[in-house]
Structure 1
Amino acid sequence: MSADPAPSEPPVLRLREEDHVVVATADLPVDAEIRLPGVQAFRTTAPIPRGHKLAIRPVTQGGQVLKYGQSIGRATAAITAGDHVHSHNLGMDLDEREHEFGTARVQPSFPEGRDLPRTFLGYHRPDGRVGTRNYIGVITSVNCSASSANMIADQFRHTGLEEFENVDGVMAITHQSGCGLVPDSEGGQMLLRTLRGYANHPNFGGLLVLGLGCEMIAVNQLVDGLGLPEGAYVETMTIQDIGGIRATVRAGVEKIQEMMPRVNEAQREPADVAHLTLGLNCGGSDGYSGITANPALGYASDLLVAAGGTSTLAETPEVYGAEHLLTRRAVSPEVGQRLLDRIEWWKDYTAAGEGTLDNNPSPGNKTGGLTTILEKSLGAVAKGGTAELTGVYEYAEAITAKGFTFMDTPGYDPVSVTGLVAGGATVVCFTTGRGSVLGCKPAPSIKLATNTPMYERMHEDMDLNCGRIVDGTASLTEVGEEIYRMIVEVASGRETVSEELDLGQDEFIPWHVGAVT
């Protein structure tokens, strides 16, 4: 389990004794005096924005700058105590990290006497899995059928569900591909995995698979590989066979109306939290992300793992530079090497596009106080808590291992979350410092704010304020337990703020890799 950061009397946060920098918890003017234990008093040499870094000891040009006790880059100019440390004087540290396997394995224990829930109310499926929602999906094999799928789903968006209280809605699952992409290619297989993962997701009680009729990834090709459990309710249609868009929409609406009573028969029943798979994601990060929401979510992740559940970290470009911390937690050299192999794939992939992995952070991240991908990654991996790493998966691959796992995805929020849900995530926790408004279906997304000012400004889009940790009004442990309780409540049917707005259908965005012919 993560430890609470040590508070300080001045408006700065010191994370480790050996760090060269602290994080400002308020806007600091030039010439503000800073006093910290074990450090000679100094004054700020420039204004320091809230969430940004402030040097507490000198660093020579070319020297490593430590935060979280790890290198976040090298000084591109001499740094003195009191300096603002950011893009103007901090650059990438390209030194190779030392990769050890299994030297820091931890199996978190579930705390006794804390009255933390061990069960939730879910939808039990015929194959033993348990869903947290009960949707009907209209999934497209090709973009050519996307508009028709949306028209079908839209017929049920605001009406038609009144008498079916156990049906959460009808969701169109559309995308930009399915033809012109060789099915056996890496990109084709990735798309098939994603579509099959959604089609076979425990949060769907019924499914209509819709195609055009002449595409490369055909309806039967999609359905034949699903491996659906006995009793699953699936219908298929192609626009060309039905007789065009209008006829298809009429027929699709009729098929879903026929599904409704049967899907509605499912009712929430108690289930062990071991049946939950939690997706861990972040977007619009800031200087507080690795201090508040991310480690608090990591604490909640450890609680779920200790209770027998599964949590999955993602966003490979945003663990780059911190992957050595994850390999130390691997249950075997094979699991650790699988993560390193994905990092190497990404180096080749970005190089082919004339980029590098250290192109990150984004402009918004930098405005929020993050400078290098190393700093961002060290904060991002905190979402994974401390539990040992039991599995590493390719994009949209089915998550089968229990415990803490990792999935290879891009850092782009909707693409990453799409992969996690395709892998089987039944709940998603999404941390944000700048204010990302991403929603998700069919898995509910819990939005965790890293700082209080953003939460207060965007409280209608955030589920929980983790900024209280740095405000000093709640501990990391308290917020971590609060997140865990919220995960169980949402899994049991509590609506998230993004669900209240009916967000998530348009955020289904599979990762596109490979040539389109």
Structure 2
Amino acid sequence: MAAPRNLSKALILLDARDDVAIAREQLMPGTRLDDDGNVAGLIPPGHKVALRDVSAGAPVRRYGQIIGFASKPIRRGEHVHTHNLSMGNFERDYAYGEEAHETAMAAQPATFLGIRRDDGRVATRNYIGILTSVNCSATVARAIADHFRRDIHPEALERYPNVDGVVALTHGQGCALDAEGEPLVVLRRTLAGYARHPNFYAVLIVGLGCETNQIDGLVASEHLERGARLRTLTIQQTGGTARTVAAGIEQVQALLADANRVTREPVEAKHLMVGLQCGGSDGYSGITANPALGAAVDRLVAHGGTAILSETPEIYGAEHLLTRRAISREVGKKLITRVRWWEAYCARLNANMNNNPSAGNKAGGLTTILEKSLGAVAKGGTTRLVETYEYAEAVRAHGLVFMDTPGYDPVSATGQVAGGANLICFTTGRGSAYGCAPSPSLKLGTNSTLWQRQEEDIDVNCGRILDGEQTVDQAGEEIFRLMLATASGQRTKSELHGYGQNEFVPWQLGAIM
């Protein structure tokens, strides 16, 4: 189909095949659509307007791809949203590997100032972590960490400027679950990923003593090794809450001098592993922040680094764009296996894969999960998909990889960090304030209105693309340079606000007994 003639500058057309355009600003009834007509009603910013008549049941396209089907006849110039657009089944051509092209590597690798650990891995931050085996030990873990909070006890870390902090990452699991089942396996894999994370100089694991997730079982099953850098305490063996808090404080205190001896040194960008997230999205996410992050990811991969694309329910309907870029049929089929798992999971729980977009996403102009997914995959750039991982698995490949996670951002990012991500990049159109420990999180806003309203939480304004002040490629270069600066120690907005300890949310699977 031909594109409309002389489309209004108030609208954005992403592909000549599209049935809809996106409003740059709020459009009033009668606003010019193109040379042949006007907008038929009020169109909020970021929302869709029909460029042609669409009959009931016919597919509707954005990005040149199907985003849903007309639930009733749609007239040219009308608002297209939940009242006239719905999900529907259609075939996707996975074409495994047909568009997988070798990435041209940078002649001179970029560098950042990283912290090299004894085993050769590189950290972007230097924390001491307090983990818990079970929710029952969460209060004790927090009390230990609170003793070293700079905002409460500034003197506690005064002599240790190279220690970024002592953080307690607690959760609501660890007991009343199958001792031999997948939920415990996933929880232990997640905890072990954090226990090994290079951004922790050392970790103390605190348990109660009678929980299903016994610390000895965790250590044995995940092949962890107790020592100076991995210590454990149980409340029942230590003699109660107060004694365990005191013992934990003593153990952390004994670690601080050695933890403070770290230095930063130039290291190649191949040591940077970035988790890609989007949350609180809007109709501009797939136009500005997501493709800009994708341009940064292409640069990262060209410099030898790794990017983790995730949120399986939020690539649903766009998975065929990733399988085409898989380096092998095996890698592509592993991704489709995870998509099929989600379909079965939702069917078993009487859930709907289209339960996302959330209310905020819909208010921002996203109608179906198909539409959200097509914008979300843009975060992965254009390079080859080199591997597919299950939740919280250790990521060992370099390049663009996929990790199966839920779409809920804290759960998804927790899996990415467990897999080794030492930086998070998070796009948002509604204004997420997400932060992460031990890996810093950069927030990329999709529009300038959000930036003006919530600049204290957003690190980059990708709305400049929409405003015509910057290209996607220029924004990608800016984000890539900010990745390197953040990995070198520059603080993100969420770090300045102290976010991170409440955002550790392991994926909870299975029945709670």
| TM-score of the alignment, normalized to the shorter chain, above 0.5 | yes
What CA distance in whole angstroms lies between the structure 1 residues aligned with 2:133 and 2:62?
Answer: 47
Please, which runs of 5 or more residues in structure 1 have no aligned partner? Answer: 1-6
What CA distance in whole angstroms lies between the structure 2 residues aligned with 1:322 and 1:55?
Answer: 22
One-letter amino acid matched to 1:301:
V
**What is the DSSP-based 3-state SS (H/G/I as helix, E as strand, rest coil) of the residue aligned with 2:495?**
helix
Q: CA separation of 1:123/1:229 partners in 2, compared to 1, >3 Å: closer, same or farther?
A: farther
Instruction: Verify the 8 A CA contact 1:142 1:212 in the aligned structure 2.
Output: yes
1:43 paired residue number: 38
1:157 paired residue number: 149
1:64 aligns with 2:56: no
**What is the DSSP-based 3-state SS (H/G/I as helix, E as strand, rest coil) of the residue aligned with 2:250?**
helix
TM-superposition CA deviations, 1:111-135 (whole Å, max 9, x none): 67xxx97001111112211010000
What CA distance in whole angstroms lies between the structure 2 residues aligned with 1:328 and 1:357?
Answer: 22
2:72 paired residue number: 77
1:3 paired residue number: none
**Aligned-pair distance for 1:9?**
5.4
**What is the DSSP-based 3-state SS (H/G/I as helix, E as strand, rest coil) of the residue aligned with 2:142?**
helix
**What is the DSSP-based 3-state SS (H/G/I as helix, E as strand, rest coil) of the residue aligned with 2:74?**
coil
Matches within 5 A, 1:447-486: 447-486=443-482
Instruction: Verify the 8 A CA contact 2:195 2:230 in the aligned structure 1.
Output: no
Matches within 5 A, 1:78-157: 78-109=73-104, 118-157=110-149
What CA distance in whole angstroms lies between the structure 2 residues aligned with 1:195 and 1:325?
Answer: 32
Q: CA separation of 1:225/1:268 partners in 2, compared to 1, >3 Å: closer, same or farther?
A: farther
One-letter amino acid matched to 1:25:
R
What CA distance in whole angstroms lies between the structure 1 residues aligned with 2:286 and 2:512?
Answer: 38
Q: How does the TM-score come out when normalised to structure 1?
A: 0.95
Structure 2 counterpart of 1:234, from 230, 234, 248: 230
1:25 aligns with 2:20: no
**Aligned-pair distance for 1:225?**
4.2
What CA distance in whole angstroms lies between the structure 2 residues aligned with 1:263 and 1:154?
Answer: 18
What CA distance in whole angstroms lies between the structure 1 residues aligned with 2:217 and 2:498?
Answer: 31
> Comparing 180-189 with 285-294, which one deviates more in the overlay?
180-189
Q: CA separation of 1:167/1:226 partners in 2, compared to 1, >3 Å: closer, same or farther?
A: farther
**Aligned-pair distance for 1:96?**
2.4
1:4 paired residue number: none
Instruction: Verify the 8 A CA contact 2:109 2:303 in the aligned structure 1.
Output: no
Structure 1 counterpart of 2:355, from 353, 359, 366: 359
* Deviation beyond 4 Å, 4+ runs, structure 1: 225-232
**Aligned-pair distance for 1:106?**
2.7
Q: CA separation of 1:434/1:355 partners in 2, compared to 1, >3 Å: closer, same or farther?
A: same
Q: CA separation of 1:230/1:196 partners in 2, compared to 1, >3 Å: closer, same or farther?
A: closer
What CA distance in whole angstroms lies between the structure 2 residues aligned with 1:109 and 1:477?
Answer: 17
**Aligned-pair distance for 1:221?**
2.0
2:265 paired residue number: 269
**What is the DSSP-based 3-state SS (H/G/I as helix, E as strand, rest coil) of the residue aligned with 2:66?**
strand
1:372 paired residue number: 368
2:3 paired residue number: none
State the superposition RMSD in angstroms: 1.6
Instruction: Verify the 8 A CA contact 1:107 1:306 in the aligned structure 2.
Output: no
Matches within 5 A, 1:303-322: 303-322=299-318
1:382 paired residue number: 378
**What is the DSSP-based 3-state SS (H/G/I as helix, E as strand, rest coil) of the residue aligned with 1:139?**
strand
What CA distance in whole angstroms lies between the structure 2 residues aligned with 1:117 and 1:98?
Answer: 36
Task: State the identity %.
Answer: 53
What CA distance in whole angstroms lies between the structure 2 residues aligned with 1:396 and 1:234?
Answer: 19
Q: How does the TM-score come out when normalised to structure 2?
A: 0.96
Structure 1 counterpart of 2:288, from 279, 287, 292: 292
What CA distance in whole angstroms lies between the structure 1 residues aligned with 2:63 and 2:249?
Answer: 55
> Comparing 102-111 with 352-361, which one deviates more in the overlay?
102-111
